Amino acid sequence: MKAPALSAGEKPSGAAELTRFTAVVAAVDTAAFGALLELRRQELALRSDDVFERASEVAGVYARWFDAHGVTCPLPGQIATARRKGLPAIGPAVDALLYAELTTGVLMGVQDADAIDGDLHFDWAEQGETFAGFRSTVTCARDEPVVRDGAAIVASVLQGPDRRTSVTKSSRHLVFTVYDAPGLGAEDFDGAVRLLRDLLRDSGAVPDVLEVSL
């Protein structure tokens, strides 16, 4: 598969202090990826308390940022649920996203590369810009951090992904995105990227790690 190139728009004055945007891109064997994730869930059950404790601390960085914009960050609640019930099994791409997010506390996304129009551009929305979100139309605030492809916004960092590029159980060509937050430690961001890369490698995939400074 051809990995989309990354670019970024000029950061407006007063926009969130984000430093970088990273994508981890790979073609996966869905059966092998699913089997690996089942093994990882079993392993996690044996050490979940320590993992989720640290992930909760990191997720708090995102939660404070989201709260300042009147938006609820999903990570703390998802981590609390995973701590009680374990991670769900939905489909390889989503399972990998949840494993990576909820064991690191770092906000991420996943999209079907085959549905992306051209390259990915990290940008800052105009007031009132909209896109077709996963559940409903999403309206963006001025300078809200978003990701665009050649056709439209594909994700808002604060409000989630679009429907057009969403993954299914059979999606093989995957683009995982890793999102920064004001005050997030570099070691936490880097650790999340490494986890995604290694997870894909361990399934037999050959991931590309792409990054752009903001």
Q: Pairing relation of β-strands 6-8 and 120-124?
A: parallel
The pair of three-digit structure tokens given for residue 120, joined into one six-digit string: 């990915």
Q: What is the pLDDT of residue 124?
A: 98
Architecture of domain 6-213: 3-Layer(bba) Sandwich (3.50)
Q: 20: which DSSP letter?
A: E
Q: What is the pLDDT of residue 47?
A: 85
- Check if the beta carbon of residue 190 is closer than 8 Å to that of residue 104: no
Task: Return per-residue pLDDT of the chain as tens, 214 residues.
Answer: 889 999 999 999 999 999 999 999 999 999 999 999 999 999 999 888 899 999 999 999 999 999 999 999 999 999 999 999 999 999 999 999 999 999 999 999 999 999 999 999 999 999 999 999 999 999 999 999 999 999 999 999 999 999 999 999 999 999 999 999 999 999 999 999 999 999 999 999 999 999 999 9
Q: What is the pLDDT of residue 48?
A: 81
- Check if the beta carbon of residue 58 is closer than 8 Å to that of residue 84: no
Q: What is the DSSP string of 167-182?
A: --TT--EEEEEEE--T
Q: What is the pLDDT of residue 82?
A: 96
pLDDT tens-place string over residues 32-91 = 999 999 999 999 998 888 999 999 999 999 999 999 999 999 999 999 999 999 999 999
Q: What is the pLDDT of residue 150?
A: 98
Which strand (E) or helix (H) includes residue 79? helix 75-85
Name the residue among 160, 152, 168, 163 with its Cα closest to residue 117.
152
Cβ-in-10-Å burial (0-12, 13-18, 19+) of 57 comes to exposed
∠ Cα 39 44 49 (to 5°) = 175
Q: Where are the chain's structural domains?
A: 6-213
Supply the pTM of this predicted model: 0.97
- Integer Cα distance of 96 and 91 in angstroms: 8
Cβ-in-10-Å burial (0-12, 13-18, 19+) of 146 comes to buried
Please report, for residues 48, 102, 193, 203, 205, the alpha-carbon distance to residue 35 in angstroms, rounded to integers and kept in the order given: 19, 19, 21, 8, 13
